[in-house]
Amino acid sequence: MKTRKLGRSGPEVSAIGLGCMGMAAFYGQASDEAQATAVIHRALDLGVTFFDTAEMYGPHTNEIQVGKALAGRRDKAFIATKFGIGYNADRTALAVDGSPANVRRAIEGSLTRLGVDHVDLYYLHRVDPNTPIEDTVGAMAELVAEGKVRFLGLSEAAPETLRRGHATHPITALQTEYSLWSREPEDGLLGLCEELGIGFVPYSPLGRGFLSGEIRSVDDLAPDDFRRSNPRFQGENFQRNLDLVEAVKGIAADRGVTAAQLALAWVLAQGPHLVPIPGTRRIRTLEENVAATEIVLTPEDLARIEAVFPKGAASGHRYAEAARAALNR
């Protein structure tokens, strides 16, 4: 497995990580313990070291899954988790809490569920508009001083927020959605991360699975899969986005790779400070994703991809309204 440095002064991690969210939440029935453990163990065997989870995945159950799977192999894993967001009681809106008190409450719960004495990378999952970022990051920095956290990260932070947070305590990584169909980070964030020496961690680098080309209809999704409420999976947007993926599949076929591998290789080609974290519940898909790290796209390949799937081509917002309201812009 190739490795990449997570930020100018950060650690070496595998060139891609494993996003573990889908094992416990949002994509229909959760994986059982045996299934989750098998995927995580296979990832370790393939050289994946970077594992991503969060307090809200489940909620809580994904951290338990990850912790159990990594028990006995902790020294091989770089564990990232997140805090600061959750649904309200009726799941109609997202509540964000970046208060210093919640920083302290959340880490204790995550350490217990993961079964570890420290987290390698601790993210603020969403920026709290009611708490200055300096206060949140300052409280997170106390956890570093106490040895409960090694590195700090932010998720979906706007450029000015990232600058302010980084000035309070070094931010090792920014996690934000980025893929062929979600290219907003190109409007300043990627360049700022490079300028400040911050690693960039693209989540959903396969467009929540859509860029694999394996989802042909909304009926391919479980009845309780949250993607059914995602604008890009609805109505005319679905077919327009599928047409884009079909064009990518043609380029992938010419290269002898899958559409998913081409999409991952495209993300990896955007800079050496990017470490994507595709998620999966299946060993076969995991192996396919890991193999994408060996694909080197030529300038001609990149130009062909840009021609059929240019920035802004995707139809529909990347989140439904409740989730969009929680984004820092």
* Active centre residues (catalytic): 57
Dihedral (Cα; 111, 139, 76, 4), 10-degree rounding: 150
Q: Which amino acid type is present at position 237?
A: N
Cα-Cα-Cα-Cα dihedral sign, residues 210, 215, 217, 221? negative
Tokens read off for 249: 């599949």
Contacts of residue 241, Cβ cutoff 8 Å, sequence gap at least 6: 181, 210, 232, 314, 315, 316
Dihedral (Cα; 315, 321, 325, 329), 10-degree rounding: 10
3-state secondary structure of 51: strand
